Structure 1
């Protein structure tokens, strides 16, 4: 399956803004997490992103690139804004499509999986005449992952663990929609997690995540209870392959986190 993954806005176009956040940054973070989950855990999936950094790209450039590449699906990641009072999640397909179309079927599946995990009000499945939905030659969907100018939704957006859950919801929907298969290894019942620090202070854990992300190492905070105490553990990847985990560990250590290690867990 060839996925064209489009984090909306970027560069000179910040998108919606609110509560100290810029939409372009949230879109990119979620999209990178979607890409990493797919490439790390699934076979026969190719992902082309419209941008992997804070760069400017026109809508025409995005759809032209997806069409030329021959993508099977176009997924645009966005956040919403209104007047501070609206909140929740919604997604869109093109307004010309019927409810029985293939694209609508994909929307039904992905929507259901995302709302299982995103802790947002479900605003429903919608249709619109957006450029990326109209000009893409493959099935396309655009998701609006909360309202950045709403205090409730913005508080979630600031949490990297929430952004990881949102990414996982999209991936779960893609897996079901396109029947993509998880990678098979000799130790499929084991996951290898890269732990880049454990802290009793959530603030310290968030600082570590911010540093890793500044080094282009995707990470998030996982809250765990150990001997009755709450710890905030920074995870910088999870792999079904020990070899892939070792490679990521080397990258993390080279970034200066010399006490990072691999945690093996049965699943």
Structure 2
């Protein structure tokens, strides 16, 4: 049985970013729950969440959950702000040429193909020393699904059919890489 841990970023008093009436903690949870629903339909996959509601979970607790479950893959869901636009994915630095990097490349390309249909920008496959990537003991990726303060990005994220299709695409991408 493959174990996947999905991490809805932020939560509780930690709002994350916001813009155009969207709040990161809420949108990240919505997408995470939809991805879980999609993945749960597949036999041989056990899906776990770091949070299933609006509660605060520390970064180390998120990694500990995945490590205790001996997860095969960890996916953290976030949204960006700061004047940019588009999609980017992150893995921990120093993993070039590894399984984690290959998984990032496959997942990123598949999700980006969806975003391109809406004229959204590819900000690239990146690395960062984020705690949830550093502290997890399995391949892990952090997805920055568009900018809440960018008008076009936010307009897309406000549409339920867009969120549903994005969630399905992410779920299919996870299945493809595991």
TM over 0.5: yes
Question: Would you say 1:116 and 2:117 are equivalent positions?
Answer: no
Unpaired segments of 5 or more residues in structure 1? 179-267
TM-score if structure 1 supplies the norm length? 0.64
- Alignment RMSD (CA, Å): 0.9
TM-score if structure 2 supplies the norm length? 0.95
Q: Match for residue 86 of structure 2?
A: 88
Distance of 1:35 and 1:65 partners within structure 2 = 16
Does the residue aligned with 1:123 lie in a helix, a strand or coil?
strand
Question: Would you say 1:174 and 2:174 are equivalent positions?
Answer: yes
Question: Would you say 1:126 and 2:126 are equivalent positions?
Answer: yes
Q: Match for residue 101 of structure 1?
A: 98
Q: Match for residue 10 of structure 1?
A: 11
Distance of 2:165 and 2:122 partners within structure 1 = 16
State the Cα distance separating 1:96 from its structure 2 match: 2.0
Q: Match for residue 77 of structure 1?
A: 77
Distance of 1:22 and 1:157 partners within structure 2 = 11
Does the residue aligned with 1:47 lie in a helix, a strand or coil?
strand
State the Cα distance separating 1:59 from its structure 2 match: 0.4
Q: Match for residue 48 of structure 1?
A: 48
Deviations 1:204-227 (A, max 9, x none): xxxxxxxxxxxxxxxxxxxxxxxx
Q: Match for residue 28 of structure 1?
A: 29
Deviations 1:206-263 (A, max 9, x none): xxxxxxxxxxxxxxxxxxxxxxxxxxxxxxxxxxxxxxxxxxxxxxxxxxxxxxxxxx
Q: Give yes or no for contact 1:116–1:169 (8 Å, CA) kept in 2.
A: no
Distance of 2:164 and 2:112 partners within structure 1 = 13
Unpaired segments of 5 or more residues in structure 2? none
Q: Give yes or no for contact 1:89–1:124 (8 Å, CA) kept in 2.
A: yes
Tell me the number of residue pairs that the alignment of Structure 1 and Structure 2 aligns. 174
State the Cα distance separating 1:171 from its structure 2 match: 1.4
What is the correspondence of 1:231-246 to structure 2 with a 5 Å cutoff? Answer: none
Distance of 1:58 and 1:168 partners within structure 2 = 27
Does the residue aligned with 1:107 lie in a helix, a strand or coil?
helix
State the Cα distance separating 1:175 from its structure 2 match: 1.7
Does the residue aligned with 2:75 lie in a helix, a strand or coil?
strand
Distance of 1:165 and 1:31 partners within structure 2 = 13
Does the residue aligned with 1:70 lie in a helix, a strand or coil?
coil
Distance of 2:173 and 2:164 partners within structure 1 = 14
Q: Give yes or no for contact 1:14–1:23 (8 Å, CA) kept in 2.
A: yes
Deviations 1:134-186 (A, max 9, x none): 000000000000000111101111111111121112112112112xxxxxxxx
Greater share of residues in strand:
1
Deviations 1:15-60 (A, max 9, x none): 00111110001101111110001112x1111111011111111101
Bigger Rg, structure 1 or 2: 1
Q: Give yes or no for contact 1:110–1:169 (8 Å, CA) kept in 2.
A: no
